[in-house]
Amino acid sequence: MDRWSCSDGPMEWTDLYKHVIGVVHTNYQVYLEELGYAGIMSSPTIRQSLFSTFTSMVCSAYCDVTIKLSSAGISLPNEVQYNVHGVRQEFFDMAKRSSVGKKRWLPFQETNESTGSLVYFIGKAVKPKGWVQLLNLLETLPDTEVRSGRFRVDAFGSGPEEEEIAEMVQQLNQKREGILQMFPGRNHADKHFEQYKVLVNASTTEMLCTVTAEALAMGKHVVLAEDPSNAYFKANFPERCHFFNLQDPSSFHRALQDALEKEGPLPLSSAAEALLSWDAALERFYDASQVHVLSGRLERPSEARGAKIAFEIHSRFQTDTPAFSKLLKSATLNQEMEFKAPWAELGTTSELMEKLRGYMSLEQKRDFDVVASSDRVEDTVK
């Protein structure tokens, strides 16, 4: 996180602004699991400890409210769970164009004349964003379905791991008769996507996937993993969502088959569209942004003793030990970098690690004193 600076040093966002809201978009708990670590960071216990400690510390130090788009991921200080995202009008318009004056793909219709597929996937070309899971699932499809061509997938994505993913796709296609075609990334609002009937999305690294919301707005059926990040879609769009268990490949086969047997694309009802609109999302955001938890007699959670300690430690890690901070970040994200031992920072690093151990032992009631706002007793009458 960046910080503003003044002559007295870095300032807290909560000093600069009267109310600070953080919105969590990525479930890094899952994302980090899929990066393929070696060495000490290959230990899930060490990795999760570092991740949860520093994430909680940053949220406590810089935010009065932390909005999670779903219940996925770790618990965070002062969190509320709301889907505060919406979908642009152009996606709803695409659904109407697809259903008026154009042939809809009927149940069991086998091919799309232009690409040979009724199914698509779109995502940034990094392996944790659902690519590995999708390829593994496609490899498990029955031979008869592969040969029929009904389950072919057009996949769109560009990114830093594009070449590596393309090699994985090539290896899959050699075994599974060209079941997936990979194309460079495109804007999801591109008219090209009007021709597809089903979005398949195996990713669970998002707190809530906006691509899925856009596909629903476009009138598609969606094939999704059973996961807390997809709970909003399951609760509100049961007729358009087809779920599978990531640990049960046969359930993926059934979900994809079920989606292809439906008629579509078809526009959502007015009530369903409203749930995905930005107007409704903003109303949810206004509600989520209120301080639902208060720190005892303090007006803001960021004023609590524990929050102040969190800011001091995080700030000093960045300003006083930049080499160690960069090394820790690179190790956490499994990024290659030239190793330069931060010998000059050892003394300060040891001091901060000791403070970090102290922070981890803080008591919720004594040092954060967080209570629900409904439980707070106002001292109006003495």
Rounded Cα–Cα distance for residues 14 and 119 (Å): 46
Torsion of CA 51, 53, 59, 65, to 10 degrees: 100
Three state DSSP letters for 210-279: HHHHHHHHCCCEEEEECCHHHHHHHHHCCCCEEEECCCCHHHHHHHHHHHHCCCECCCCCHHHHHHHEHH
Which amino acid, residue 233?
F
The pTM for the full model equals 0.81
pLDDT in tens, the chain (382 residues): 444 444 444 567 788 888 899 999 988 777 766 666 555 556 667 667 777 788 888 888 888 899 999 999 888 888 889 999 999 999 999 998 876 544 444 454 444 444 568 999 999 999 889 999 999 999 998 887 888 788 999 999 999 999 999 999 999 999 888 899 999 999 999 999 999 999 999 999 999 999 999 999 999 999 999 999 999 999 999 999 999 999 999 999 999 999 999 988 999 999 999 999 999 999 999 999 886 555 566 778 787 878 888 888 888 777 776 666 666 666 555 556 554 555 455 566 677 667 666 666 665 555 554 544 444 333 322 2
61 burial (CB, 10 Å; 0-12 / 13-18 / 19+) is: buried
Which amino acid, residue 248?
D
Rounded Cα–Cα distance for residues 321 and 268 (Å): 53
Element (H, E) at 198: strand 198-201
Which amino acid, residue 214?
E
CB 153 within 8 A of CB 200: yes
